[in-house]
Structure 1
Amino acid sequence: MTAAPDDAALPWLAGPAHDIATKQRGHALLVQGNPGAGVFELALRVARTWLCETDGADAPCGRCTACHLLASNSHPDFRALLPELTQVELGWSVGGAEAADAGDGEGKAKKKPSKEIRIEAVRDAISWTQKSSSRGRAKVLLLFPADAMNLVASNALLKTLEEPPQGVRLLLVAEDAERLLPTLRSRCQRLLFAGPTPAQALAWLEGQGVVNAPVLLAAAGGHPLAARRLAADGFDAAAWIALPKRIADGKWEPPAGATVPRLREVLQKLCHDAMAVAAGAAPRYFPATSLPPPAAWPKLADWSQSLARLARHDEHPFNAPLITDSLLAEAKAVWTKPRGRAA
């Protein structure tokens, strides 16, 4: 794998990582947080602290042999289970020793990256935990996102979670812990990572040279890493601000190549903000001045439920143009006033 993201460059991780690494004594921790806020980088920092070989260090020193091995993802006592798709999204190379789909046979490069942590990978990791530590300090198994395990893989991990070999610590990371089996959750000490404050996130983005940082941060739901990815993808702040009224007027055309899940996500953000305004609250994703006039609550509620149903079928091979037209027509209808009856 390529080098992991530089967690030291995310200043809001230092305090939570220190508390988790030095104050939590459980052998199995379940950390809940948003990837766009740096929860994966937080878990890496915790693992590096546990494995750092500098005596008395309460953070990875970055100088010892263990830290250098971890920086190159070659530490023999650290293993990360990630689906192939997650590796691609994080910029990790696919097919390394920690790949969640290792051992699936030839021709993997020709397949779409998997979204699952499969049973073969979990069984291999369990076997790895049962071997002695190579450097004699500890062994750390990280699963991200932990809810990417299917039912069989989740059940296979239960025994190790309950009674791990001596010196083995497990880090499960998920955006929504409720997606995990109750039997998995009950065997872990559950921790919540709130992410940076708005001021910290904005200062970091501006330090990264991100233009229109406040608009991008709002569009990303307050998550700075997600906002930075938007900037790298050529996010158009002016177009984002104009988008709500264009959708309500039926004048918005999604950019070429936009997928149905991506369009659904944008519409859910607009629906969220429209419902917030209708309830007398502040919007989260769009400036208040950019939103169309308040819509009727029943229409908004029906729209929200429709989008939620669609989200459960993101993997379905829909006819994208047909679904796109349907979604945009449904959105426009929310703000379309019914015609009066004929006299």
Structure 2
Amino acid sequence: MVSAPLPWLNGPLQQALRQRSHALLIHGPAGVGQYEFGFELARALLCEATGEGVQRPCGRCTACHLMDTHGHPDFRLLLPEALREPLGWPDEEGRKKDAKPSKWIRIEEVRQAIDWTHQSLSRGVAKVLLIHPATAMQEASANALLKTLEEPAPQVRLLLTTTDPELLLPTIRSRCQRLALPLPTREAALAWLQERGIAQPAVLLDAAGGRPLEAQALASEGIDADSWSALPQRLRQGDAGAVAQWPLPRLLETLLKLCHDLMAVAAGGAPRYFPAEALPPGAALPALAAWSRELTQLSRHDEHPWNAPLLAESLVAQAAALWPGKPASAGRGRLTTLGR
């Protein structure tokens, strides 16, 4: 059996190796391991182990070692600058250290990768181009890839990842065979998190919506089960220190989760992200609905150059005002001016 770096990807990896499609669109929920799957599939496709019944990737051949050190000449990765460091890839040469890393895959990078696919094989097995995530290609970049997707050079395999295929151009989708990556079972996800020393993994797994890699990311950011469970009460008390160091996207995502759970409880349902006992009662459903709309609107502009500390304080004040007896936030209704 082929061994994937994430145990719940074993089945999909074997399926992909059987398909032998020249262009594969790998999709599934965020936090399930699209990048890890794409990289491990590339390792398997480039593995040089031989013999009947051999497992690929073998982890022992020269090709596997080259992949592990990010030095295989027949593997190329297209990745936004903003994801290079988190995924363990060095910054590209020429990027200014003080420049904000781009969230996009530039058309020049796509064209260079296309030229690379037409060059001769270095090790005689295959060439693999991994694009993660494919939604980081803007329309011009995606259109530049169409001909290569339709008529790739011999022995070239193209792997594209996404959390939602519908966000890609129809012309991209139609040229790829799809492979869905499901969420792992709760038991498998909890076992994996426990193996990594994460205490009370069930709390963080719920906080991440059942996505184990996202739960691991929360833990790596210093958000443990106790601090997550204490967060609703601290926000009710207007304690901005609870989230003072959080990046704005993480803060907005968390407040939307809290709002969802408070609305669910107010409507007689069960929370999804926070323990039920951690949610202070009494928040009114109409106020929660209005807050949800405001948070959703703000989350669409999280790249705006906000004054992050002031915005965080305003958001915490809004949260505190949801419960009876709490004064309305002085900053409410002025969110669009705080960063200017």
TM-score (norm 2): 0.86
| Structure 1 residue 53: Cα displacement | 2.0
Answer whether contact 2:238 2:317 (CA < 8 A) is retained.
yes
| Structure 1 residue 294: Cα displacement | 5.8
Partner of 1:91: 88
Partner of 2:238: 250
Partner of 2:338: none
3-state secondary structure, aligned to 1:253: helix
Over 3 Å counting, the alpha-carbon distance change for 1:51 and 1:92 in structure 2 is same
1:254-286 Cα distance to aligned partner (Å, 9 max, x none): 443323222111101111222333454432211
| Structure 1 residue 318: Cα displacement | 0.9
Partner of 2:142: 154
Partner of 1:19: 15
Aligned with residue 25 of structure 2, among 26, 30, 37? 30
The answer to whether 1:73 aligns with 2:70 is yes
3-state secondary structure, aligned to 2:234: helix
Task: Provide the C-alpha distance between the structure 1 equivalents of 2:173 and 2:265, rounded to a whole number of angstroms.
Answer: 36
3-state secondary structure, aligned to 1:142: strand
Over 3 Å counting, the alpha-carbon distance change for 1:184 and 1:246 in structure 2 is same
The answer to whether 1:48 aligns with 2:57 is no
Partner of 1:196: 184
Residue pairs, 1:278-289, within 5 angstroms: 278-289=266-277
Task: Provide the C-alpha distance between the structure 2 equivalents of 1:337 and 1:180, rounded to a whole number of angstroms.
Answer: 47
| Structure 1 residue 170: Cα displacement | 0.9
Over 3 Å counting, the alpha-carbon distance change for 1:214 and 1:121 in structure 2 is same
| Greater mean alpha carbon deviation, residues 231-240 or residues 68-77 | 231-240
Partner of 1:98: none
In the alignment, structure 1 segments of 5+ residues that lack a partner are: 1-6, 96-101
The answer to whether 1:231 aligns with 2:219 is yes
1:66-103 Cα distance to aligned partner (Å, 9 max, x none): 212211121111111111211111232222xxxxxx6x
Partner of 1:109: 97
Partner of 2:337: none
3-state secondary structure, aligned to 2:77: strand
Task: Provide the C-alpha distance between the structure 2 equivalents of 1:148 and 1:304, rounded to a whole number of angstroms.
Answer: 27
3-state secondary structure, aligned to 2:97: helix
The answer to whether 1:145 aligns with 2:133 is yes
Aligned with residue 59 of structure 1, among 51, 56, 80? 56
| Structure 1 residue 48: Cα displacement | 1.4
In the alignment, structure 2 segments of 5+ residues that lack a partner are: 328-340
3-state secondary structure, aligned to 2:59: coil
Task: Provide the C-alpha distance between the structure 2 equivalents of 1:161 and 1:150, rounded to a whole number of angstroms.
Answer: 16
Task: Provide the C-alpha distance between the structure 1 equivalents of 2:47 and 2:282, rounded to a whole number of angstroms.
Answer: 55
Answer whether contact 2:252 2:299 (CA < 8 A) is retained.
yes
The answer to whether 1:127 aligns with 2:102 is no
| Structure 1 residue 35: Cα displacement | 4.7
Please tell me the root mean square deviation across aligned C-alpha atoms, in Å: 2.3
Task: Provide the C-alpha distance between the structure 1 equivalents of 2:267 and 2:286, rounded to a whole number of angstroms.
Answer: 12
| Structure 1 residue 127: Cα displacement | 0.4
Answer whether contact 1:69 1:75 (CA < 8 A) is retained.
yes
3-state secondary structure, aligned to 1:115: coil
Over 3 Å counting, the alpha-carbon distance change for 1:32 and 1:107 in structure 2 is closer
TM-score (norm 1): 0.86
Task: Provide the C-alpha distance between the structure 2 equivalents of 1:240 and 1:286, rounded to a whole number of angstroms.
Answer: 8
Answer whether contact 2:78 2:109 (CA < 8 A) is retained.
yes
| Structure 1 residue 122: Cα displacement | 0.4
Answer whether contact 2:190 2:205 (CA < 8 A) is retained.
yes
Partner of 1:167: 155
1:216-272 Cα distance to aligned partner (Å, 9 max, x none): 222222222222233233324222112113323434534433232221111011112
